[in-house]
Amino acid sequence: MKRIVSAALLGLGWMLSGAVQADAKAVEEALKQNLPTLKPDSVQPSPIPGLYEVMMGAKLFYVSEDGRYLIQGSMVDVKDRKDLTEAKLAGARLTSLDKMGVGQMIVFKPKATKHVAYVFTDIDCGYCRKLHSEIDQYLAQGIEIRYLFFPRSGPNTESYFKAVSVWCAKDRNAAFTKAKKGDTPDRKDCDNPVDEQLALGNAFGANGTPMIITEKGDILPGYVPAAQLVKIMEQQAADQPEPQAAAKK
């Protein structure tokens, strides 16, 4: 009897799973009809019946099951006091950073890495320079700093060319530090990730620098001292489970 019940429940599970997948596929098809240029990475049911999560890179929005109504904003579980949208976005940010790869970043490593922070930076930003002037303090706290370029003035500007030149230098870390002290790097050009990093920062909603992404995928806008940053990251480690995308490599 138990075997019969178990088999029935298993069959029901497969049926429900297939129905969910079919519904998500129908939503995706409806989206294509209404917004043919939209190319979602995934479409999944949201916690609200009849509303679906649509993920595109590091962006998340919600759509009705007929694909007609699109909603942008945060979904909050009032009972549990949890921002469900931000939790999803945090994982998406880490996935995007993971896809870019640490080899496309300028990395300052401590002797023993306890935490990882991604920092979108502008060579000419005052608070970005302040942060890097204290790099030894971050390293002393065991925080590995992974820099990505975000020249706020945009492509083909002085700050942009400085970022490219630093990337193309023989010793990127040394060139980066010199540029942060105000030295203008010798103009160089080569294959570089600056445009990709600028686009990623925009996708994350950057409107200033420095912008710090923690190893949990949360955004900390602006300069955060090393002692404060390590406290934030330790608290996050205690409060939250590891997101799907790995923060440390």
Q: What is the pLDDT of residues 114-123, one digit of tens each?
A: 999 999 999 9
> Comparing 34 with 63, which gets the higher pLDDT?
63
- Could you count the other beta carbons within 10 Å of the beta carbon of residue 61? 16
- Average pLDDT of the chain to the nearest whole number: 86
The CATH 3.40.30.10 portion of the chain extends over: 96-239
pLDDT-derived band at 85, boundaries 50, 70, 90: confident
Q: Which of 125, 129, 146, 168 is catalytic?
A: 125
pLDDT in tens, 151-199: 999 999 999 999 999 999 999 999 999 999 999 999 999 999 999 999 9
Is 128 tagged catalytic? yes
Which tokens hold the place of 207?
Answer: 């409107």
Coil, helix or strand at residue 66: coil
Taking CA 78 as the corner, what is the angle to CA 73 and CA 81, rounded to the nearest 5 degrees? 95
The C-alpha atoms of residue 209 and residue 240 are separated, in whole angstroms, by 26
**Rounded distance between C-alpha atoms, residue 196 and residue 241, angstroms:** 29
Active-site hit among 122, 146, 168, 218:
122
Higher pLDDT among residues 186 and 1, named by residue = 186
Give the pLDDT of residue 187: 95
**In the chain, where does the domain assigned CATH 3.10.450.70 lie?**
19-83
Exposed/middle/buried for 106, CB within 10 Å: 0-12, 13-18, 19+? Answer: buried
122 part of the active site? yes
Q: Given this structure, which CATH class describes domain 96-239?
A: alpha beta
- What pLDDT shows up at residue 1? 52
Catalytic pick among 93, 129, 146, 152: 152
pLDDT at residue 54 greater than cutoff 70 = yes
Q: 12 in helix, strand or coil?
A: helix
What does the pLDDT read at residue 242? 55
For residues 152 and 127, give the distance between their C-alpha atoms in angstroms, rounded to a whole number.
13
Q: What are residue 116's DSSP bridge partners?
A: 144
* Average confidence (pLDDT) over 62-68: 84
Active site residue 152: yes
- Per CATH, domain 19-83 is 3.40.190.10: no
